Amino acid sequence: MKQFLNFLLEDRMLLGKSEKLILNKGDRLMLESNDNQKKYVYGITEGIISLNRKTEILDFLGTNQFLGLVSDENSKVHGEVLTLTATVWRLELHDVLSKVVQDDTGLLLFNKHLMNVCDNLMKKASIMRLNSTNRLLISIRNLALRFGMASEHEGVVTLPCLFTHKILSDYIGVQKSTMIDLLNKLAQNEKIVCSRGVISVHV
């Protein structure tokens, strides 16, 4: 998605109307202005941001992904910074869509973004049909593939420590106490390794 963000920011008019924001952990990214007159899109250049609906985490977004480019007006969602800091470009949705429809390249890149969003949400929907143990294990594996770091052991990936028990419980829809029990069960069955709050998994 880096190419898509570059495509947008190469437009001098769009760049002039955009705003680069340096955010801190816990900061929220709202998709509408306070007066509800503007709708925003955020292009992420650094950091990890959760996509939230009330207390539920729908997905996680990282570098070169977008928040707000695809949204349901009936579902009030917002972003929340999970890393210590995050850097984003805030643009108005109307300006982004206007730029996209003027250029075949823009339409192609926008379509790729839509496919990526749909793929992640379809995977999440499928996972949520599983029992809680498998729901957690597959979620950890998917997140490790997207955001994890390779360990010294071949085929083992470690999740960033920002994926806490609370974050994971909000993501798969269980209580935090249940999450701890599930992690212990997976560790006992050697499906994952938990050490000082850090989770590693075979992928």
Verdict on whether the full-model pTM lies above 0.85: yes
Q: Which domains does the chain have, with CATH numbers?
A: 2-127 (2.60.120.10), 132-202 (1.10.10.10)
Are the beta carbons of 14 and 90 closer than 8 angstroms?
no
Q: Tell me the per-residue pLDDT of 28-66, one tens digit each, with 9 for 90 and over.
A: 999 988 777 789 999 999 999 999 988 899 999 999 899
Return the pLDDT at 184. 93
**Does position 72 have pLDDT exceeding 80, yes or no?**
no
Query: Nearest 5 degrees, angle CA 126-CA 51-CA 66?
Result: 100
